[in-house]
Every structure is written in structure tokens, then in C-alpha cells.
């Protein structure tokens, strides 16, 4: 099952007594901070959870699977996530 933004907001309201509007504002603010940080090329480290990193992928050869045509894929940035040891332990217990 996938955890949605609406479910996170409901958990915040249930556990902390915030209104739905307050919980939505807090979550949206957190997401915006994370997006702007990653867009600037900086990493995000959340202790006990993991690290979001921005990596540069070089230009590379690709292939159109429908036609078999070879083409060059542009260089791009990708976001990766590496879970902390505590997170891995909790998932595997």
C-alpha cells in the first residue's frame, strides 16, 4: 500500500491535534523546502531516516525500444535516496 499525502495529513491531525489546514500547510512547507534544496543541488540528510542526494548523469547512448533506433540521451540530474541503518533495521525487523 502506498502512503499518500492525504494519509500523512490525517496522521498529523490525529497524533498532534492540528487542524487539517494547519497540517496541510506544514506538510506543503516541508515539501517546498525539500524541493528547493534539491533543485539547488544540495543534499538532504534526515538523521535516523536517510539521505536524499542529487547526482549528475552524463549524456549516454540509448535505444528506442519500438523502432530500435539509436539516440543520445541528454545529461540530467537525478535524486537518489539511501536509507539510514536505523531505517533498514526497522524495515527488516
Order of strands across the sheet that contains 76-83: 44-46, 50-57, 76-83
Which pLDDT band, with edges at 50, 70 and 90, does 21 fall under?
A: very high
Neighbours of 77 (CB within 10 A): 11
pTM greater than 0.85 (yes/no): no
46 bridge partner residues? 50
CATH number of 41-93: 4.10.520.10
Residue 1's pLDDT is 82
Rounded CA separation 35/15 (Å): 26
Amino acid at each position: 500500500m502506498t502512503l499518500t499525502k492525504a494519509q500523512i495529513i490525517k496522521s498529523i491531525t490525529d497524533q498532534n491535534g492540528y487542524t487539517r489546514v494547519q497540517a496541510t500547510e506544514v506538510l506543503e512547507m516541508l515539501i517546498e523546502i525539500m524541493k528547493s534544496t534539491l533543485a539547488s543541488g544540495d543534499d538532504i540528510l534526515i538523521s535516523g531516516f536517510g539521505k536524499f542526494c542529487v547526482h549528475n548523469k552524463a549524456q549516454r547512448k540509448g535505444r528506442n525500444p519500438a523502432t530500435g533506433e539509436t539516440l543520445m540521451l541528454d545529461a540530467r540530474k537525478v535524486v537518489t535516496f539511501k536509507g539510514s541503518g536505523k531505517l533498514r533495521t526497522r524495515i527488516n525487523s
